[in-house]
Structures are given as structure tokens and as C-alpha cells.
Copies of this chain bind each other. A is one copy, B any other.
């Protein structure tokens, strides 16, 4: 990631230099957020900070309106939306259960064609997923913070509207940023509103789901199943109950693999560096108030 970002900076016409002279700080090691206070203290000229990844939880405590903060917001949306679709289809079509079978078994499965889909979150993943769903002729409802329209979807912003939409959904996709407002949103009350055939798909963050509540809902077959690319805790421990539940598909946070994502985030770094050099507005700006 460091090499790719350094190349992207050079391709955009800037140079990679010592911290004391830098006007921008481009973070290439998402595991080391705790170094931020020390580094920023040694970087008096920095005006812009580019973070890797779309979710910026490790950096939220450092957000500071003196700087422009940008992140990978939207960059990874197409591969993540693709994985959300793959998980939704795998769930509805019973592919998880069939993959585990060791013999020919009875027909199960429902169509995504014409299904009712509720998406939580109106960001890049949502937009890309709506694009991928277009030929399926689904009925799409998006629950989002901002009351701004989305093509080919019904937008709702109130929790009461979400509560009314959940029982009608065949698929519920979590594509939210993780904030204090959204942490634990999928709890027993949420799950009890879902139809007993409906699948939950989470491609956002494990913290959106109250894992113990989900385990109960799955064991009691109150929902059709869950397809999770993210879990809480993550990584999911080897002895966790979720591994053995038949109608639960777990993928290890690979909606956007390093192989898929590196060229995408490097392109964002290149674009933002070029914009910074030219004095143009940056892309993927973090709202310091909202924290994403």
C-alpha cells in the first residue's frame, strides 16, 4: 500500500517528502492509527489528511476541523456491492446449505427477481447495489440519514418507516457507516420485524449487528438466514456459535479483497493529490461532525 500510494502521489505531480515539510499526510497503514498524535505533531504544514479504507473508525477520535480529511468513501463500493449481491443470491438460493451438503437434497430457494429489498445506508455501496439490482426488477427501499432522493428506490429517513418496511422485505442489506447512531441497529427488535423467509446481508461493519440477538433469531428460525461479510467480534473466534448455524453464511471481510481494493484506493489517492495540487475540491471528504 505504501509503494502504491507513493507512486500515485508522484503520478499526480507531487513529491513524497519528509513530514516536517509535508502539506498533506497520506496514511498507508490502517493498522497504526495510534501513531497519529505523534505524527501530526511533527507535521506543522499539513492541511489535508487522506485515510485508507472507507470506514475510518480507528481515526474518529482524532478528527479535527483544522484539517480536510478524506477517506476511501465510495472507492470500494462496486466490489462490495457485488459481494452483497453474491451473498443475497447465495442466501435466497440456498447455496450455503447446498455447499455444505454431501448428498442430493430437496429443492429450496427463492428468486431475487422481483424481490423486495431494504438497504440501510445511502452511500456508495447502496448506489452500486441499486445499479446491479436494476435488471432484477426489485422493489428497493433505502433507509438513510439524509432525505435526498435516489433513482430507482424509495427513500425513508424515519425509524418508524423502517419498522414498517422491514416485514415486507425479502432481503435486508446493511451498508451503513458505523457510528454511535448505527451501532447495534440490528438487534432482537429489528430482527423480529423481518419476515421468516428474509435474509440479512451485512457488508458494512460487524458492530451494526448485535451478534447474540442474531444467533437467537437464526436458531429459532425467525428469519430466513444471515450472510455476513463482517462480524462482531471480528475475526469471529473459532468456537463461535455462528460457524455451526446452517442458515448462516460467513465470509471473512473479503467483499473488497486487498487485491481488488489496492488499485481502487491508489486511484483515489492519485485523484485527490492531483486535485490538491490544482487547488480543486477533494473527493471522499469526511464530515467531521458526523464522523464518516
Contact = CB atoms under 8 A, between A and B. Distances in A.
B254 A104 contact: no
Interface in A30-63: none
A96 interface: yes
Nearest to A87: B95
A107 B252 contact: yes
Interface residues of A, number: 51
B249 A99 contact: yes
A86 B96 contact: no
Contacts of A249: 95, 98-99
Contacts of A82: 89, 93, 111-113, 136
A85 interface: yes
A94 B238 contact: no
Taken together, the copies of this chain in the complex come to: 2
A159 interface: no
Given A90-B90, A93-B251, A257 B99 contact: no
B99 A238 contact: no
Nearest to A103: B238
A72 interface: no
B102 A244 contact: yes
B102 A100 contact: no
A67 interface: no
A238 B86 contact: no
A101 B94 CA distance: 16
A207 interface: no
Interface of A: 78-79, 82-83, 85-87, 89-90, 92-113, 131-132, 134-136, 235-236, 238, 243-244, 249-254, 257-260
